[in-house]
Amino acid sequence: MATERQRGSFSSRDEDRLGDATEGPRGPGSRPRRPRPGGPRHVERVSVASARLQEEAVSTYHRLDMAITQRPLAVRRDLIRIFGEDRLVAVIRTGSPQIARQAARAMSEAGVRLVEITLTVPDAFEIIEELALDDSFGERGSIVGAGTVLSGAQAEQALSAGARFLVSAVLVPEMIEAARSRDAMSMPGTMTPTEMVKAAELGADFIKVFPVSTIGGPDFIANVRRALIHLPLVATGNIDLEEIPDYFRAGVVGFGIGGPLIRTDLLERGDLGSVIANAERYLNATRRPATN
């Protein structure tokens, strides 16, 4: 009985039976032997601990998933309307996750509503998830999207993290399909008229022309629009503030702008005010004038 009480205080009855089979004979009054590392009892404990960790990970995932789904999601028609009003997507591309976070919040404070985190940013999916759950970011009307999406798998992962629009530098049919299946907005990248028409046939909401400044700028857009006037082209690349009127005259419906809009050099110096002021100037230049 004394031996049974010692074993019972150490583990459950099932583990007692396991111990009887693995610990060897004991003499009267002998102390219970410590289970050998790697023995059956050790394996059982590792399995239990591993199962608990897995349960905790699943629980955390479901809490995040519920938090995202409980928040009212911007649907595709809302995003199309917002882009039609602001005509601007802020493209965040940096090698520093911290600078990316600062840039996203600076764009939000400036009133930019569509904020793209490119998947080239380290920890991009994590940042997208953080912004999707950030109350202050959402209360200012900002919506996070994912850029440089190069596969259907990346598209699904970005949407699951909370991205509500998807952008790519190239034409990825699976990205367009994933966005439409989740009621999100898509903006694939193109460079030739053939790619532009194909993107429209696949159901893209807007057609990104990239890198627009390298392939002819406003003149290229104007030439394409003479033949393909129905395509909703979005100029993307290194577009300076003073070039915006020229692109509008050429026929673009909006812009995706990175470096000139988001001055990471100012962010690195901690000059948040200048970053916000610069973004406000761009937004004032692209935003559609209010009508009474």
Q: Which residues are catalytic?
A: 116, 208
Tell me the C-alpha distance between 189 and 208, whole Å. 5
Q: What is the DSSP letter of 31?
A: P
- ∠ CA 71-72-74, rounded to 5°: 125
With tokens 């030439």, the residue in question is 223
User: Are β-strands 88-92 and 189-190 bridged in parallel, bridged antiparallel, or unpaired?
Assistant: unpaired
> Do the beta carbons of residue 167 and residue 148 sit within 8 Å?
yes
Tell me the C-alpha distance between 71 and 67, whole Å. 6
* Buried-exposed string 129-140: b where 16+ CB fall within 10 A, e elsewhere: bbbbbbeebbeb
